Amino acid sequence: MEEKFVCPHCNQELTPWEPHPETCWGDTLWVCENDDCSYFTRGRERIAKEEKVNFAYRYCYNPQSKKAVPIVTWCGGELSFLKGRV
């Protein structure tokens, strides 16, 4: 399957991401890794203000269910797609 998906918020190509085996998500998800993505920056600002914690949502698409699912990324966490964090 050579499918390509694009983030509707910033038009960047989504990156395939395999969930950790211990999560219950069996499907490969497609994540927007763009740190300038409006979806990411807006959510991050809001959360930082309201919750005083350093995490944010990234846009993520599940082609199996054809649904967009926001992924929580802990800034400082272990997820490999957190490179480029501030």
Least Å from the CB of residue 72 to Zn ion: 15
CA distance 84 to 74: 13
85 touches Zn ion by CB under 5 A: no
31 touches Zn ion by CB under 5 A: no
SS3 category, 45 = helix
Contact 49, 16 (CB under 8 A): no
Specify the stretch interacting with Zn ion by CB under 5 A; choose among 19-27, 30-38, 44-52, 76-84.
30-38
69 touches Zn ion by CB under 5 A: no
CA distance 54 to 85: 10
Residues lying near Zn ion in the complex (CB under 5 A)? 7, 9-10, 32, 34, 37, 59
